[in-house]
Structures are given as C-alpha cells and as structure tokens.
C-alpha cells in the first residue's frame, strides 16, 4: 500500500523539493509511430515544457485528455519537426 503525506503535514523543505521537481524541464518519450508518412511522437512533458508546447502551432501537436481524470496529464502527440525543436530547446 502506498502512503501519502497530506500537503498540510509536509515540511517546508519537502514542499520546496516537490515544487522544484515539478518545475524542472522534463521530456519523456512514451512511443512513436508513422502517421500519413510522417513520424509522430507521444511524450509526457513537465509543466513548463507543456506550457511552451501549448503556445506552438496547433497543427503540429495534439494533447491527450483522459476521460477518467480531472487533472492535466501533459501528454502530447507531437509531429517530428516540433519534437526535434522540443528536444533542442529543453534538453
């Protein structure tokens, strides 16, 4: 069983570490596939990277919205050229 510490009971250093980890640039490749002769990549992004992604040309990415979750998952399908730019900028 996983035990969770309520936010109200977290020490200030634990809270600070958690927030810093959320704000670190992070890109995780989940899968890739060819669609209409173009490569697309499914990636999970950290909050700052996901916010940047949402500002890019919308024809080059699609965000996943899970039906069973109210929270944003920051999972995107990304066209190859934008995926390359994403890695150059954030890695």
Q: What would the pLDDT profile of 76-87 be if each residue is shown by its tens digit? A: 999 999 999 999
Per-residue pLDDT reduced to its tens digit, 48-66: 999 999 999 999 999 998 7
Measured distance CA(83)–CA(46) in Å, rounded: 15
Give domain status of residue 37, yes or no: yes
37 CB-near residues (< 8 Å, 6+ apart): none
Give domain status of residue 21, yes or no: no
Give domain status of residue 56, yes or no: yes
Give domain status of residue 82, yes or no: yes
Q: Where in the sequence is the domain holding 57, given as residue range(s)?
A: 28-90
Give domain status of residue 13, yes or no: no
Per-residue pLDDT reduced to its tens digit, 4-33: 566 566 677 765 665 665 667 789 999 999
- Counting the structural domains of the chain, the total is 1
Give domain status of residue 14, yes or no: no
pLDDT value of residue 16: 64
pLDDT value of residue 67: 72
């Amino acid at each position: 069983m996983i035990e969770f510490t309520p936010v109200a009971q977290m020490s200030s250093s634990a809270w600070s570490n958690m927030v810093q980890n959320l704000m670190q640039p992070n890109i995780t490749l989940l899968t890739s596939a060819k669609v209409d002769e173009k490569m697309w990549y499914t990636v999970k992004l950290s909050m700052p990277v996901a916010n940047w992604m949402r500002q890019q040309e919308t024809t080059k990415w699609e965000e996943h919205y899970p039906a069973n979750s109210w929270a944003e998952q920051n999972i995107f399908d990304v066209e190859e050229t934008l995926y390359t730019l994403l890695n150059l900028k954030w890695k």
